[in-house]
Structure 1
């Protein structure tokens, strides 16, 4: 499932081809995605894409009259292709540009979304999101304030988009391991020292993932393969039963909030 780094790499991949371009046509072959694609998405036709922004795992394609909201869901991807490229199975939306290129949205599981919001207002999907993890708004004081008195386990707490956006399952596992914090620890038990470590590690892990993904940006203009996904060097995620890379203890796996969680019972307390 695309997480924040993959979505940010997607933004970086399509932005040079789309920003400043006029949308000549939007072609919706499958309107039944996670939510129905609204008819108002046609408002983007004839408009210039002034900027492409990422908010949490949403991509916002801004124009003078409003913005398209794109979510990749569990299996979605974006490609930059020549306008004449024939669609294949699961190619659900094409954004045709005056440059002769198109932005193509492919989504086998159809859990993604294409929405529209008029200029000057926020879409409900964006209304209750917490701060971006790579900004100064996500800091130690903020994290301690949000965690104060909370019984929610830390793994679920840092994955809550109302607390901080974009810390998906993979990066929550990796960040807690690097911080040496047990994923089942109640958020309210987080110490200042641990909060300082966790904030720094979350920022570092996500930044590194984005940089690694940047090496695949050329894939956005190729006609095969998946764009924006990088070879991740993970320490614990997906490695249940294997030795801990720090102490050698066998890594344990549990379900927290129905999500796979791997941790070291010796290193993480």
Structure 2
């Protein structure tokens, strides 16, 4: 699934390519991608003549700011946007096409068809329910240590499960959770309310740093991810534990292990971050 760095990279690419363009018409080939109360037909009609002023991001959501509408898009597992000349053959898995007035198409492709589009009146874009429920962005100015400590103190869930929770901090997915916990030297199965103040501060700083570094690198390409410009991310070369099962820990040389936390494959160093055995016996794993 594209995580915050990948979605931010897509946002930047879209702004380079389509900001300022006007939508001439829209084709929807998979109606379920358009969320109620809008029908596919109304979605297509409302966007005719709308100009794309800019694209914003909140967590893993892209927000297209138009003349009268905010169009919210979530890429889910494998969604992606491409920009091509109008009239070029459609690639497989093309489900929504925005025909632009300059004879280009903004096309949305999605192998699994999980992506979604929603429309909100531009003056009510802050009222979009899923975005209202998101936690803070993982930045120094928005991700408060005090607030983070307070939230951790109220749950016994495994710390990895907690930082994957978009209500706690927005945009952190599986890759960056593993990398942040490794950087902070915290076991992914440790109950959140057992972290001391020093560990909580280290983890907050690790999340902020890992996400910022990944954004700078254009995200992480593990399988299929490419940005809107057709470029792969580069952060995979900087990964320390994710996908490194049985490879030597870059910090201590101990082989990296893989387990499952919160139903997600989880990579960690059993020496730097401690054994999971104590938490398997004493506490929930998410």
| Partner of residue 57, structure 2 | 54
Q: Is the 8 A contact 2:80 2:228 kept in 1?
A: no
CA drift at 1:219: 6.4
- Between 1:47-56 and 1:157-166, the stretch displaced more is 47-56
CA drift at 1:123: 2.1
| Partner of residue 251, structure 1 | 256
Structure 1 pair 65–135 and aligned structure 2 pair: CA distance change class (3 A): farther
Rounded Cα–Cα distance in structure 2 between residues aligned with 1:56 and 1:78: 18
| Partner of residue 101, structure 2 | 98
CA drift at 1:109: 0.9
| Partner of residue 229, structure 1 | 233
Q: CA RMSD, aligned part only?
A: 2.2
| Partner of residue 228, structure 2 | 220
Normalized against structure 1, the TM-score is what?
0.90
Structure 1 pair 55–103 and aligned structure 2 pair: CA distance change class (3 A): same
Structure 1 pair 214–189 and aligned structure 2 pair: CA distance change class (3 A): closer
Structure 1 residues 176-227: Cα deviation after superposition (integer angstroms, max 9, x where no partner)? 00110111111112222222221121111111111111799x9635xxxx54
Normalized against structure 2, the TM-score is what?
0.85
Partner-residue secondary structure (3-state), 1:108: coil
Q: Is the 8 A contact 1:34 1:111 kept in 2?
A: no
Partner-residue secondary structure (3-state), 1:232: helix
Unaligned runs of 5+ in 1: none
Is 1:156 matched with 2:164?
A: no
Aligned counterpart for 2:135 among listed residues 130, 134, 141: 130
Is 1:77 matched with 2:80?
A: yes
Rounded Cα–Cα distance in structure 2 between residues aligned with 1:106 and 1:125: 22
Counterparts of 1:31-50 in structure 2, within 5 Å, are 31-33=31-33, 38-39=39-40, 40-42=42-44, 43-50=46-53
Partner-residue secondary structure (3-state), 1:25: strand
Work out the number of aligned pairs and report it. Answer: 264
Rounded Cα–Cα distance in structure 2 between residues aligned with 1:161 and 1:232: 23
Structure 1 pair 219–186 and aligned structure 2 pair: CA distance change class (3 A): closer
Unaligned runs of 5+ in 2: 275-286
Partner-residue secondary structure (3-state), 1:244: coil
Is 1:21 matched with 2:25?
A: no
Rounded Cα–Cα distance in structure 1 between residues aligned with 2:108 and 2:97: 6
Rounded Cα–Cα distance in structure 2 between residues aligned with 1:124 and 1:227: 32
